[in-house]
Chain A
Amino acid sequence: GQQLNQSPQSMFIQEGEDVSMNCTSSSIFNTWLWYKQEPGEGPVLLIALYKAGELTSNGRLTAQFGITRKDSFLNISASIPSDVGIYFCAGQTNQAGTALIFGKGTTLSVSS
């Protein structure tokens, strides 16, 4: 079945550093989504991407939909302690009735 390879699995950074994580797939997706999950909570949508090459920002977060439609990255600039959590990428094809496919997540730890 379709799979998303998300990397890195975990990151330990200092407050103020920039962060970059990415997802790749052997399949083409029409939508890429990035979610953040804080401890004990459900994931919350951060950014949605719908067009190849699209670059979208949400505050200090920037995500891009890869030109090949098989990858996406998420950057966080000037990280702060509240950025800690698990970040998930998710992709969906354009086939009606298919569910989102999620990456395994990147766990981010920020030390102040």
Chain B
Amino acid sequence: SQTIHQWPATLVQPVGSPLSLECTVEGTSNPNLYWYRQAAGRGLQLLFYSVGIGQISSEVPQNLSASRPQDRQFILSSKKLLLSDSGFYLCAWSRKSYQGYGSYGYTFGSGTRLTVV
């Protein structure tokens, strides 16, 4: 069966410090991978998605970046955190859906609660 691992679960970082959040998927190959951010009590904002190694699409311009160095590894990074980067970060994966076929849906990790102080 497929599993998705996301760590750390919580993180408190000072403003201006770097960030690295990691997400890995097991039990599948060539998945689509996604990073979402959720502000307190709010909806899900898509930050990045990747359809393959080294292929990253950015949905929202910001001081965050993403990388996919391996097929089942997705990393969210920042060189200098801002207070506004605080939030709940979720990684997700999905099988690839093709034109004319329905989505398989996304499976989410358990999230990382980031507080920038």
Interface residues of A (CB under 8 A from B): 30-31, 33, 40-45, 48, 50, 88, 90, 92, 94-97, 99-100, 102-105, 107
Interface residues of B (CB under 8 A from A): 6, 34, 41-44, 46, 49, 51, 59, 90, 92, 94, 96-103, 105-111, 113
The answer for the CA separation of A63 and B66 in the assembled complex, in Å, is 35
Q: Which residues of A contact B42 (CB under 8 A)?
A: 104-105
Q: Which residues of B contact A41 (CB under 8 A)?
A: 110-111
Query: Given contacts A41-B111, A94-B101, are A100 and B106 in contact (CB under 8 A)?
Result: yes
Q: Which residues of A contact B49 (CB under 8 A)?
A: 99
In the bound complex, do residue B102 and residue A105 qualify as a contact, i.e. CB atoms below 8 Å apart? Answer: no
In the bound complex, do residue A31 and residue B108 qualify as a contact, i.e. CB atoms below 8 Å apart? Answer: no
Pairs of residues from A and B, 7 with the lowest C-beta to C-beta distance, nearest first: A42-B108, A104-B43, A92-B103, A50-B102, A31-B103, A31-B102, A96-B99
In the bound complex, do residue B102 and residue A30 qualify as a contact, i.e. CB atoms below 8 Å apart? Answer: yes
The answer for the CA separation of A43 and B109 in the assembled complex, in Å, is 8
Residue of A whose beta carbon sits closest to that of B94: A100
Query: Nearest-CB distance from A24 to chain B (Å)?
Result: 15
Query: Nearest-CB distance from A107 to chain B (Å)?
Result: 7
In the bound complex, do residue B41 and residue A107 qualify as a contact, i.e. CB atoms below 8 Å apart? Answer: yes
The answer for the CA separation of A96 and B97 in the assembled complex, in Å, is 6
In the bound complex, do residue B98 and residue A96 qualify as a contact, i.e. CB atoms below 8 Å apart? Answer: yes
Residue of B whose beta carbon sits closest to that of A1: B59
| Most A CB within 10 A of own CB, among B43, B49, B51, B109 | B43
The answer for the CA separation of A44 and B98 in the assembled complex, in Å, is 23
Q: Which residues of A contact B59 (CB under 8 A)?
A: 99
For B108, give its contact among A43, A50, A99 (CB under 8 Å). Answer: A43
In the bound complex, do residue A105 and residue B98 qualify as a contact, i.e. CB atoms below 8 Å apart? Answer: no
A-B contact pairs, 8 of them (CB 8 A): A30-B103, A40-B111, A42-B6, A42-B92, A45-B106, A45-B107, A92-B97, A96-B97
